[in-house]
């Protein structure tokens, strides 16, 4: 293999590496945009789980609060219509 062939192979591998880094690996800005969305989804999921516990689990709600004490301080809104 000549020098020119080796140089061409090295250049093509470099171009391929840049392609992989740019397209397949998540960038920092992408990760910075995703993290706040994940926390918002976790908060709404926790709120919905608390609503289910308050509405359907009656005396077992305390078990949920023992397992997840942070759920005690979440707001669920008005549940009177759902409980009846």
> What residue spans define the domains of the chain?
3-83
Polymer length of the chain: 84
Q: What would the pLDDT profile of 10-63 be if each residue is shown by its tens digit?
A: 777 776 666 666 666 566 666 666 667 677 778 888 888 888 888 888 888 898
Q: Is 71 exposed, middle or buried (0-12, 13-18, 19+ CB in 10 A)?
A: middle
Residue 50's contacts (CB-CB under 8 Å, 6 or more residues apart) are 64, 71, 74, 76
pTM over 0.85: no
Residue 69 has pLDDT above 70, yes or no: yes
């Amino acid at each position: 293999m000549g020098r020119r062939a080796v140089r061409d192979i090295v250049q093509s591998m470099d171009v391929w590496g840049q392609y992989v880094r740019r397209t397949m690996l998540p960038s920092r800005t992408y990760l910075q945009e995703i993290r706040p969305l994940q926390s918002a989804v976790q908060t709404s999921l926790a709120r919905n789980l608390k609503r289910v516990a308050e509405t359907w689990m009656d005396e077992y709600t305390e078990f949920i609060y023992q397992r997840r004490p942070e759920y005690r301080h979440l707001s669920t809104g008005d549940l009177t219509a759902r409980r009846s």
